[in-house]
Structure 1
Amino acid sequence: MIASRRPVIVGVDGSPAAFGAVRWAADEAMRLGQPLRIIHALEVHGPYEEVSDEHGLAIEAANEIRHWQPGLEVTTTTWHGEPARVLIEQSRSASLVVVGSRGSGGFHSLLVGSVGVHLASHAHCPVLVVHHAERWAGPESPLPQREPIVVAADGSDDAEYGLSLGFAEAASRGVALHAMRTWHEPEHRRGRSADPAGLAAAAERALTADLEPWRGKFPTVEVVPRVEHCPTVPAMLDAARDALMFVIGARGHGGFPGVRLGAVALQVLEHAGTPVLVARRS
């Protein structure tokens, strides 16, 4: 049987952050056993179409990556079209989309409405947003290797998919996986006293149950369960500080139907200082 060929795609715009994202994308492609496709989107008026790479940005990045990872299959494409739209369309056939959080031209800062948020909301595959990617723009700056993968596990369908991605990342890198779940007292208790010990124990049981099947599939991964009583977003941002990568489902429990990127995922995506992998399904 021939393995499915679903490339890792990454957008470039000539900025150091974009090339740092390319290095992350190449590393992910090698781990996934998939080719790398480097895409340059020209935000100009005209039809949405593939064009010749007059600027040579994608080709230049590809040449650097071929030197760094000589065994990796690398292709390039250049398109007329708004960068987010181009990458979202290309994500239909991809295993992962990677983008830097800051760039120039079409790939500018990752605030609300920017390329990274649009991708995390609408891509047809997981999205890796590499914050401060300029740190890894040069070959003299090795990618992180020893820090743990941290994954948010709230029991939702997307969080389950995030666990599968997080375990696979931890296994391929030989690092620990920290799986975190937060709990808090219900907002409306109608005068009833809270039971912190009971709520914490329930959260621990739920997390243990969520982790059990993945421990069996990835027996070599060191798993560190983390159950915390605190607001969800601050806890996640604190955990992300010492992480190699933070993995979160596009939507968690309590989201509104039709919302493609939950409020918690959006806040983590905007404020985390470490690369964030958003678990999106096709």
Structure 2
Amino acid sequence: MMKVWELYEKGDWVVPFLIFSISLFVGASLFLYLIIIWSRNKKIKRARLKTEYSLVIEKMMSAVVFEDVLFSVLKEDKETSLLFKKAFFRETVTETIINLHKNYDGVYAQKLEQFYKDSGLINDSFKKLKNLSWEIKCKGITELSEFNITEAFDSIIAFSKKKKKTLKITAINAGIKLAGIKGIVNLVEHPDPIDDWTQVNIISAFKKHDIGDTKGVELLLESKNTTVIALGLKLIKELKLTQKVKYVAQLIDRAPNTTIKYEAQNVLQSLTV
């Protein structure tokens, strides 16, 4: 301990320490600068590529939608075939056809859905569900639900039990779009509280997708989770499901607490007035 103190008093360590500190600072600054430059160049390159790809994709989609050209014909072109092997090109195509699909319906929408499957873009979306990043999972869920891939329902709805709120809401909304009431029936056994924001999103999804068959909504009222019961009551009220009045009346008699009982009475009153 004395030797360390003696070295400290002599001050011989000061110059090497300062040199090391300055070198470390300069090195770190240079490294960060290079990272920023690399990141910026990457973004510029991607933006340029996206512009180039967009021109190709527009012609391709025009042929698919308006000229009934199949992907099997498109991939015979060597340049197109090579482009589809590039991840960024495929991602750009997916973004484009999603935007188109939102604006088209009927036969045109069906052509886009078929292209999504034939081109293998559907496989990219399924792979995103296995990604560690929740943002990428959400992207995959959104893509699959947009193109009405009903076989993805079980994989998607499994994410409704995750803790991450955005992922949970995305999965539930997708489940509702793909399977209507079936998309929320699994919430009956949901152990965690469903916050108001999530409930609002679920109700909005029902209104947006105009779910005709509401058979099963009443099952939410049988949950042991009071927030799930509250969601069921809100759905019945907001969607004006007068055919569910008897289930609301039954809930009043067996409500788990006064809050739920009060909410049920309000719903019953609003539907019977």
Q: Which has the higher contact order (CA 8 A, sep 6+)?
A: 1
TM-score if structure 1 supplies the norm length? 0.25
Structure richer in helix, relative to its length: 2
TM-score if structure 2 supplies the norm length? 0.25
